[in-house]
Structure 1
Amino acid sequence: MGIRRFDHVGINVDDLDAAVAFFVALGLEASPVQQMEGGYLDDILALEGVRTEMVYLTVPGGVDASGVALPGSSAFELSRYVHPGGAGPDAPGGAAASAPNAHGPRHVCFEVDDLDASLAVVAEHGHAPLGRVIETHGYRLVYVRGPEGLIVELAQRLG
């Protein structure tokens, strides 16, 4: 028994198009939108009448023509719940749950080629850094708040 590899991380959003556009602009590749409903989704999620739209995002070359992550590749899965609707930041605990130091999933980190160019893309999409750019442990790092409050760390390897 053992873990073989990291497969994917799933993030639920209300505006799938805006979230996909943001991450594609940063350099990820997107699969086609997949419409999924009922059956096994109802079973695994313990919900009824589930309908979702989902996109897999990977580093360039990480998905096949059908949008499935290639062996050895990891994916960032963005989903929009059509039914039942998603629980956004106004749901109970939403504001506290969105704090960077709250328990649970807080951020996703992507290594980028050019941090300054990536920050320009972030600004073009109407988002901004949470703090200042720092240099530590051989990287330039910054946290940004992206679509729907998602916290994204951008890391540029130095040298």
Structure 2
Amino acid sequence: FLLLVIAFTSIRTGFIAMIPNVVPIILIGGIMGYAKVNLDMITAMIMPMILGIAVDDTIHFTNHIKYHFELTGSYRSAIENSYREIGKTMIMTTVILCAMFAIFLTSTMNVLVNIGWLSIVGLGSALVADYTITPVLLYITKPFGKEKK
């Protein structure tokens, strides 16, 4: 949270940006409990890793929205322009990372298989949260100021 506040130089925007990033962490924790995956030193590293990647995407996406808002004065235009500019890149980086973690699924070691599928679920849910929750929160809360008419 503190790093997001520093990155955005705003407590409000930092808090808003943190909300979509807890979604994959909660999901991974819930799935681990449901699937009876032991929380050990290896699987415990998945959550901070996913959080770091999710926060990176959120910072890029939010900064693009802020930049376009400053140009257009419209949250809707800013969000649309940001999707157009970096949306495909966010998807491609997530797909590439998921493909790399999918290699772990072929392992005979159960801990590596768990890292693989939990990372894929975490990365996928982080992308979905960034694509859906982040723009909605920014549109509703309008942290960059009032829209220009």
TM tier, shorter chain?
A: under 0.3
Q: Which has the higher strand share?
A: 1
Which of 1 and 2 has higher RCO (CA within 8 Å, sep 6+)?
A: 2
TM-score, with structure 1 as normaliser = 0.25
Task: Report the structure, 1 or 2, having the larger helix content.
Answer: 2
- TM-score where L is the length of structure 2: 0.26
